[in-house]
Amino acid sequence: MTHESEGDEAQQAQEFDMEFVPHLPGGRAAFPAEREGRFVWLIAEGAMTRQCFDEMRTYLRHIVSSGMWQQNWDGNGNPPPPQPDAP
């Protein structure tokens, strides 16, 4: 792994992640959440195998690192200001 890819990986980890949680409200298996400038997929334990979790995390990190998915948080972890409705 090169230093550049290590830097890319660190940046991706700041913008996106997935994590297992003991349970989610309403019996959900997965729930998207925004946390401190990051987008985090919460996955209920037992709803996804570890292999599936690892593969999905790899695919989603690729989407983020390739620019197909971008977060627009400011440098302090705050969401962007609301946009006025288009006419």
Q: What is the per-residue pLDDT across 41-68, written as a single tens digit (0 to 9) for each?
A: 999 999 999 999 999 999 988 888 887 7
- Quick one: pLDDT at residue 78? 67
Report which residue type is found at 10: A
More confidently predicted of 41 and 83: 41
For residues 26-55, average pLDDT: 91
- Quick one: pLDDT at residue 25? 92
- Quick one: pLDDT at residue 21? 96
